[in-house]
Structure 1
Amino acid sequence: MSELLSPPPDGAGLPLTQTQKDLIGGSIGGITQVLVGQPFDIVKVRVQTAPPGTYSSPLDCATKLLKADGPLGFYKGTLTPLLGIGACVSIQFGALEFAKRFFAQRAKGRDLNLGEFWLSGAFAGVANTVVANPVEHIRIRLQTQPDTVPRMYNGPLDCAIKLYKNGGGLKGVFKAQVPTMLRDGVGYGCYFLTYEALVQRHLKATNLSRDQISPLWAVTYGAVAGYALWFSSVLPF
């Protein structure tokens, strides 16, 4: 019995390739991202798409949403991004690491420069849109449909089927694919460029290795990189 309860020896378990680790880590991060960000996202979408005068501010929108639908109202339309975000972020980080390894093989031992980090991030952003664009399209349709009976869409699958039938096939599901590719390519290029620039500056100033950076600094740099993504892509688009 003690042998069954003892921890596995070092190296035991299923071996994972670096790509598999990137995909699994991206999935976990993406699901967490949805659960934390969805309430803010639905308020943003409501404020942006509601007729003038419906909400006086984002706080007013959140208050009315809470009164009308309760706490779960903030997670309306969450199933689609929750199912899709794992795939989205997995593709994103898998593509990012693939591109970084591609440039590293040609760098002949030197560190990647910021331009190569930008290109890696841009490649990851464009790859991400293959799943992210239809997921985002369906999510917005569900979040903004009127509260009428019968409902326009009875869930993500019904929404996807109707977009396919009424929008000319895949063209209806992947509506605005090119602008989304441009948005995410520029945005994630700036995101990873900013993050790496801050990390490299930190490493030079402290003489630490990358794995010695504290979680607090990593989160701080990630937050700053998030603002870079927002101002470079989300606001213009």
Structure 2
Amino acid sequence: MTTVTTDQKANPAKSFIAGGFGGMCSVLTGYPLDTIKVRLQTMPLPAAGQPPRYKGIIDCAVKTFSKEGVRGFYRGISAPLVGVTPIYAVDFAVYAAGKRLFQSDDQTKLTYSQIFMAGMGAGICSALVTVPTDRIKVLLQTQPVTGGPLMYNGMVDTAFKLYKQGGLRSLFKGTCACVLRDSPTGVYFVVYEGLQDLARRRTGHITPTSTILAGGSAGIVFWSLAVPFDVLKSRLQSAPEGTYKHGIRSVFRKLMATEGPKALYRGVLPILIRAFPSTAAVFIGVELANDLLN
């Protein structure tokens, strides 16, 4: 059975700190493309004979910049920046705790199936932390910026209005969709650990280049699997209350009936373009933080 060599026994506390720092690096790197992705995913169907709101990634970028400037690409970034520390911190801490369950000492070699199980558990736990900030982010990214006053004025105002509207249930709208989207995290860690293990066998150690390549590749593989669930999540979280009575199931049925399977991959281009640099930034931040903590 294929194995992964670990340098030392996993440390959840250290991974908690390193994961939070890596997550902040990721948000700052990939947020503009995330905004474009969400806007493409949630734009309404055009009326008969009318062009779509955005023709594609470039058209969305041009229109966003012309109407809102550079600031438009970072609309709602406060939510993920505030939430990113606990989200990625939980992700990497749970991942480390999962690996630790399989390790008896610093020389323990983990199989890729063990890496997968630890990563899947991390993805599910971090998804539960992600939901409120993801909900706020999507609403801020998709609200109209012309034709009157804004419905939501920043992260705190959005959180307050959602809570007033429907309590915690409103803030956690899309929980099931988030868990489904993040469930391929096991594959994400397997790809990263596998490529880093290959680098160790070739050179005896990992390098910044191997971390960038392994992290970026892990991100592309993960998002290739997660895109359909991300589309359903964005549709559900941006919809007015009562639009989808049965949650993600209602979103899926309506999307299939009105737009077909192709709509499940709407916004895939900015997602995959963003996946490599933003995920590479996560692991560069994590490895740098680990070095400093060591």
Indicate the TM-score class for this superposition, using the shorter chain for normalisation. 0.7 to 0.9
Superposition TM-score, scaled by structure 1 size: 0.83
- Aligned partners of 1:190 and 1:232 also within 8 Å: no
Checking the alignment, whether the CA contact within 8 Å between 2:191 and 2:218 is kept in structure 1 is yes
The reply on whether 1:190 has 2:183 as its aligned counterpart is: no
Which whole-Å deviations, capped at 9, do the CAs of 1:144-185 have from their partners, x for residues lacking one?
112243321122122122222323x22111112122112212
Residue in structure 1 matched with residue 92 of structure 2 by the alignment: 93
Task: Tell me how far apart the structure 2 counterparts of residues 65 and 133 of structure 1 sit (CA, whole Å).
Answer: 25
Give the C-alpha shift of residue 196 in structure 1.
1.6
Match for residue 142 of structure 2 among 141, 144, 154: 144
CA deviations over 1:107-129 (Å, ceiling 9, x no partner): 99641101110111111111112
Displacement of 1:21 in angstroms is 2.4
Identity over aligned pairs, percent: 36
Aligned-partner SS, 2:149: coil
What stretches of structure 2 of length at least 5 have no aligned partner? 1-9, 47-51, 231-294
Runs of at least 5 residues in structure 1 that lack an aligned partner in the other structure: 1-16
Q: Answer whether contact 2:83 2:133 (CA < 8 A) is retained.
A: yes
**Pairwise CA distance, 1:199:** 2.2
- The residue number in structure 1 matching 2:289 is none
Which residues in structure 2 correspond to 1:2-21 (within 5 Å)? 18-21=11-14
Please say if 1:227 is aligned against 2:224.
Answer: no
Equivalence for 1:44 = 37
Could you tell me whether the CA contact under 8 Å between 2:128 and 2:178 is conserved in 1?
A: no
- Paired residue secondary structure (1:112): strand
Q: Is the 8 A contact 2:32 2:74 kept in 1?
A: yes
Counterpart check, 1:129 vs 2:122 = no
Residue pair 1:184, 1:233 contacting (<8 A) in 2 also: yes
Provide the TM-score with structure 2 as the length reference: 0.68
4+ residue stretches of structure 1 with deviation over 6 A?
A: none
Q: CA deviation at 1:67?
A: 1.3
Alpha-carbon shift at residue 65 of structure 1 (Å): 1.0
* Number of equivalenced pairs: 214
Q: Does 1:67 align with 2:66?
A: yes
Q: Select the structure with the greater relative contact order (CA < 8 A; seq sep ≥ 6).
A: 2
Q: CA deviation at 1:225?
A: 0.8
2:109 corresponds in structure 1 to: 111
Look up the equivalent residue of 2:72 and give its one-letter code.
G
Q: Is the 8 A contact 2:22 2:88 kept in 1?
A: yes
Query: Which one of the candidate residues 28, 31, 34 is aligned to 1:35?
Result: 28
What is the CA–CA distance in structure 2 between the aligned matches of 1:235 and 1:110, rounded to whole Å?
A: 37
